[in-house]
Structure 1
Amino acid sequence: MKKVFITTIAALMLFSCQNDQTEPTGSDASAATRRLCASQEVLEAQLKADPMLAIRMNEIEAFTTNRILTNRLVNGKIEIPVVVNVLYKTTAQNISNAQIQSQIDVLNKDFNALNSDYNSVPALFAGVKANIGITFVLDQVIRKSTTKTSWGTNDAMKKTAQGGLAPTSPTTKLNLWSCAIGGGILGYAQFPGGASATDGVVIDSRYFGLSGAANAPFNLGRTATHEVGHWMNLRHIWGDTTCGSDLVSDTPTHNDANYGVPAYPHYSTCSGTPVEMTMNYMDYTDDNGMYMFSLGQKSRMAAIFVSGGARASFGQ
């Protein structure tokens, strides 16, 4: 297991020296066969547009590290109200209330270790698998018909002036957008520190909740689990670079993203060739291949809800 020690300089490098990547564009009618999350690409675009964002995120990282080291984390349950914004052009995109509720149910299972595959975690990682202890309650569903074929990843779906729906009370409610993203993107999230006017999680309507066999292998609601993980300050498990760091001490170093459902054990090519935690929600595996968070990830998530944390307003 890797050890993570974050200094102010290291944090500055983390958020101000991101690799440039091409943002997928366009629409696609066929269902995705490999997981693509645009959270990192969106973050890089936001860092370029807002020079102060890196500073805010560095401060959040320093705060998170301090709280983890001093064990001053949130006590008790966090209950998060969820507003679902549905933007649709077709009947299929106008997802039902039942499908929406199925996504809330999946989040509650995955974040409370109630998912049926939780006990499938291999013995090697059993000591660090975590019950996050955060619950979600559907607060409101807002629907809007649109003529847009795809929305892309520039946050247009969150802006009324661009035909979207502005977030509702984003400092106290988690906003989810269900829409046709395009470009093969399943979803993306805004990390803590970003503007409240664009805060929340976007999920392609085909992968929202228990969406049916037609949308396999991303039909079990785990796209939202992955993206809400980002919204709660988790990075991709491979650190978005070869043998990178996800800033968590109890996850193995991955050499890259994993796809499909890798056979266990799957060894990293990084130093020490550790067995990779491919079943972690923050990898890129299929929905039925991911089913755990780690205790270190739990600590990172808990730190943003304490007094002074980036999402402390949700913990009051």
Structure 2
Amino acid sequence: MKKILLTATAFLMLFSCQNDTTETITPNASALTKRGCASQDVLAAQLKADPTLALRMNEIEAFTKNAILTNRLVNGKVEIPVVVNVLYRTTAENISLTQIQSQIDVLNKDFNALNSDYSSVPALFSGVKANVGISFVLQNVVRRSTTTTSWSTDDAMKRSATGIVPTTPTTVLNMWSCNMGGGILGYAQFPGGASSTDGVVMDNNAFGATGTVTAPFNLGRTATHEVGHWMNLRHIWGDATCGSDLVSDTPTHNAANYGVLAYPHYSTCTGTPVEMTMNYMDYTDDRGMYMFSNGQKSRMAAIFVSGGSRSGFGI
């Protein structure tokens, strides 16, 4: 298990390392076979465009660390209202309400340890597996027909001229379903970013657990992963070789993992720990990820308390 140091200098150095990390997959490696999340790429672009974002996120990290150390965490269940924004060019891209609700159902299971594969967590990690205790409720679905063939990570789907603007993002989780290009399954905005672009974007073929979804990303875990980012979780390998995800109870991973790995899978980092490949914040296939850790739960909970970056959703 790794220990973390969250000084302002270390945090800014972490950004510097992460900005050089390429997270998307090439078009030749189809999104149907290999997970691609662009959250870190989007963050790098936002940091470059707005130098003050690093300072805001550093303040969020300091607050998070203090909230965890002083146990100032949510003492109850946060219920998050969700607005799903559907952008479609074809009938298939105009996903059904049934498909949308299936995604909400998956989030409620995964964030409350009600997923059927939660019992598959290996004994090595049974002491740190977490019931996050956050629930989600579908508030509204907004639809717009467009002529856009595929969308990129430039947030065009969130603008009034080309897409759908977010609904009251300080108190509502906005999710966009659209046809993503470049082998990207989705991306999220971390806490601290602009309200006008806040939320989670996903490819319509990885949204939910029925309808147009395609294996191996047909169990709704793309949203679980991206909402994890929206709640301040990093990729488990820290977006760098043997990097830190700022969580103390997850093993150090040397890199992202793909597919479904046989257990145990050992890291090549110092100490060769067994990697937590079944963690939602790795890059494994949907059926290969089924747990959060207690440390990740603490990071997520810290943003919802009074003074936290998403306190508008809290108690």
Q: TM-score range by the shorter chain?
A: over 0.9
Contact (CA 8 Å) 2:25, 2:36: kept in 1 or not? no
User: Does residue 222 of the first structure (1) align with residue 221 of the second (2)?
Assistant: yes
User: Does residue 190 of the first structure (1) align with residue 189 of the second (2)?
Assistant: yes
Change in CA separation of 1:167 and 1:29 when aligned onto 2, cut-off 3 Å: farther
Q: What is the TM-score when the length of structure 1 is the normalising length?
A: 0.96
Opposite residue 143 of structure 1, the aligned amino acid is R
Residue aligning to 2:45 = 45
Contact (CA 8 Å) 2:304, 2:312: kept in 1 or not? yes
Q: Which has the higher mean CA deviation after the structures are superposed, 26-35 or 53-62?
A: 26-35
Change in CA separation of 1:192 and 1:289 when aligned onto 2, cut-off 3 Å: same
Opposite residue 58 of structure 1, the aligned amino acid is N
Instruction: After superposition, give the CA deviation of every residue in 1:230-256 in whole Å (9 maximum; x if it has no partner).
Output: 000000000000000000000000000
For the residues of structure 1 that align with 2:244 and 2:40, how far apart are their CA atoms?
A: 14
For the residues of structure 2 that align with 1:148 and 1:213, how far apart are their CA atoms?
A: 18
User: Once the 2 structures are TM-superposed, how far is the Cα of residue 20 of structure 1 from its aligned partner?
Assistant: 2.8
Contact (CA 8 Å) 1:16, 1:54: kept in 2 or not? no
Residue aligning to 2:156 = 156
Secondary structure of 1:85's partner?
Answer: strand
Q: Give the 5 Å matches for 1:170-181.
A: 170-181=169-180
Secondary structure of 2:116's partner?
Answer: coil
User: Once the 2 structures are TM-superposed, how far is the Cα of residue 26 of structure 1 from its aligned partner?
Assistant: 9.8
Instruction: After superposition, give the CA deviation of every residue in 1:47-68 in whole Å (9 maximum; x if it has no partner).
Output: 0000100000000000001111
Change in CA separation of 1:28 and 1:66 when aligned onto 2, cut-off 3 Å: same
For the residues of structure 1 that align with 2:212 and 2:93, how far apart are their CA atoms?
A: 16
Contact (CA 8 Å) 1:31, 1:215: kept in 2 or not? no
Change in CA separation of 1:9 and 1:29 when aligned onto 2, cut-off 3 Å: closer
Residue aligning to 1:298 = 297
Opposite residue 190 of structure 1, the aligned amino acid is Q
Identity %: 79
Opposite residue 118 of structure 1, the aligned amino acid is Y
Residue aligning to 1:205 = 204
Contact (CA 8 Å) 1:232, 1:301: kept in 2 or not? yes
Opposite residue 68 of structure 2, the aligned amino acid is I
Opposite residue 45 of structure 1, the aligned amino acid is A
Contact (CA 8 Å) 1:53, 1:194: kept in 2 or not? yes
Residue aligning to 2:245 = 246
Q: What is the TM-score when the length of structure 2 is the normalising length?
A: 0.96
Contact (CA 8 Å) 2:18, 2:40: kept in 1 or not? no
User: Once the 2 structures are TM-superposed, how far is the Cα of residue 11 of structure 1 from its aligned partner?
Assistant: 1.8
Q: Which has the higher mean CA deviation after the structures are superposed, 206-215 or 275-284?
A: 206-215
Change in CA separation of 1:107 and 1:189 when aligned onto 2, cut-off 3 Å: same
Change in CA separation of 1:27 and 1:97 when aligned onto 2, cut-off 3 Å: farther
User: Once the 2 structures are TM-superposed, how far is the Cα of residue 120 of structure 1 from its aligned partner?
Assistant: 0.2
Instruction: After superposition, give the CA deviation of every residue in 1:257-277 in whole Å (9 maximum; x if it has no partner).
Output: 000000000000000000000
Secondary structure of 2:43's partner?
Answer: helix
Secondary structure of 2:280's partner?
Answer: coil
User: Once the 2 structures are TM-superposed, how far is the Cα of residue 32 of structure 1 from its aligned partner?
Assistant: 2.1
User: Does residue 286 of the first structure (1) align with residue 300 of the second (2)?
Assistant: no
Residue aligning to 1:32 = 32
User: Once the 2 structures are TM-superposed, how far is the Cα of residue 16 of structure 1 from its aligned partner?
Assistant: 4.8
Residue aligning to 2:265 = 266
Instruction: After superposition, give the CA deviation of every residue in 1:82-141 in whole Å (9 maximum; x if it has no partner).
Output: 000000001110000000000000000000000000000000000000000000000000
User: Once the 2 structures are TM-superposed, how far is the Cα of residue 6 of structure 1 from its aligned partner?
Assistant: 1.3
Runs of at least 5 residues in structure 2 that lack an aligned partner in the other structure: none
For the residues of structure 2 that align with 1:186 and 1:32, how far apart are their CA atoms?
A: 9
For the residues of structure 2 that align with 1:175 and 1:214, how far apart are their CA atoms?
A: 20
User: Once the 2 structures are TM-superposed, how far is the Cα of residue 305 of structure 1 from its aligned partner?
Assistant: 0.2
Residue aligning to 1:234 = 233
Instruction: After superposition, give the CA deviation of every residue in 1:172-215 in whole Å (9 maximum; x if it has no partner).
Output: 00000000110000000000000000000000000000145861
Instruction: After superposition, give the CA deviation of every residue in 1:7-44 in whole Å (9 maximum; x if it has no partner).
Output: 12212222355333568699899652100000000000
Q: CA RMSD in A?
A: 1.8
Instruction: After superposition, give the CA deviation of every residue in 1:135-175 in whole Å (9 maximum; x if it has no partner).
Output: 000000000000000110010000012x1000000000000
